[in-house]
Chain A
Amino acid sequence: DAGVTQSPTHLIKTRGQQVTLRCSPKSGHDTVSWYQQALGQGPQFIFQYYEEEERQRGNFPDRFSGHQFPNYSSELNVNALLLGDSALYLCASSLTGTDTQYFGPGTRLTVL
């Protein structure tokens, strides 16, 4: 039973660039949520995807966008990167209508 996977593990970008992060949910799950975890903080909700549409969104600017594919995998895109976007980006998968979320290992993004 495959767990949640994410790629890449680490990424270094410069200010103004764009980045794409990827997530594959746990087998049997159809919903993917993305979180940003700054150093020393708890994860903060970015948005959630279900049936290839954004279902909920947290307090993040439009520079953050996403996509979900028919196989339930998902991408997180961040445009015009800022230094403050440096963080661990986590995806969590769940089955719609249920509350339990399982996290992937995360992508560590560093913006220089």
Chain B
Amino acid sequence: GENVEQHPSTLSVQEGDSAVIKCTYSDSASNYFPWYKQELGKRPQLIIDIRSNVGEKKDQRIAVTLNKTAKHFSLHITETQPEDSAVYFCAAPYSGAGSYQLTFGKGTKLSVIP
């Protein structure tokens, strides 16, 4: 199976600063790495994902980097805003028989201080 470690567990930043969340995974066969944002009482929402054929992917203020050799990937949020405050989860799949079972990290609670 897959093992995913996520750090830090909590992160506080001033509005406008950058935030970085890091994850490591164990299964070298994993090739898809999504990030989900979960606001209090709401569903996990897919915000960005990366596949193993690219090293970095950007979407406005959000970027994800992947290092397959080291088996780690990171979420970068620039120019943070109060609405970025939420719990962020990384995940990696165990794939078999054409299906994808996601293993999640324990989450990072991001607080953006106005």
Contacts and interface: CB of A to CB of B under 8 A. Distances in A.
Contacts of B32: 99
Give the bracket for the number of chain B residues in contact with chain A. 20 to 34
A66 interface: no
Main secondary structure of the interface of B (DSSP, over half): strand
A4 to B, nearest CB: 8
B104 A43 contact: yes
Interface string A6-39: 0000000000000000000000000101010000
Given A100-B34, A101-B102, A41 B107 contact: yes
> What band does the interface of chain A fall in when counting residues whose beta carbon is under 8 Å from B?
20 to 34
A92 B45 CA distance: 11
B105 A104 contact: no
Interface of A: 4, 31, 33, 35, 40-45, 48, 50, 55-56, 58, 90, 92, 94, 96-106
